[in-house]
Amino acid sequence: MGLKDKFAESFARSKTMTGPEKRANEIMGKLLMKKAIIPIVLMVIIMIVGMVAKINGWAILAVNLLVALGTYFYIKKAGEKYQNFKPYVGNLISLEKKGKNEYVAIIKQGKMPIKLEINYGGEDLEGLKKNQLVQVSYNPDAKIAIVVTR
């Protein structure tokens, strides 16, 4: 499969995504970009210091390639961490706003209430009424909640 085919497949998939899938991709993309900023800044600093110290250009390139390679595996591992969502279906009992973007939602699934601590995606739950049936995909590691159905 060539690069053109992979791009076409990815583009077609992005056009057929549902709203919750787009929201999840948007949140995870922002989180991964935050993690990628530090290595990018580090690479720029390495280039500037190398030029000022008049270090061989090939050495600077080698160090930058090592940083890029390490960043690739770091971002890949972080991306896998964001992929394990667990579905919850139940009535929304309460939603408390703890901080600027931090929420605590209690969903009653069957007879057992479940407490979800949410750092990303909690604002989607704000418009819902109490005791409304809701389906939420929740990632406990990153504390991401995606409202699937309202």
What is the pTM (predicted TM-score) of this model?
Answer: 0.69
**In angstroms, rounded to a whole number, what is the distance separating the alpha carbons of residues 47 and 121?**
38
Distances 87 to 41, 48, 150 between C-alpha atoms, Å: 37, 47, 14
At residue 61, the pLDDT reads 92
Confidence of residue 15 (pLDDT cuts 50, 70, 90): low
- Mean pLDDT for 88-104 is 84
- Mean pLDDT, the chain, rounded, equals 83
- Model confidence at 13, in pLDDT bands (50, 70, 90)? low
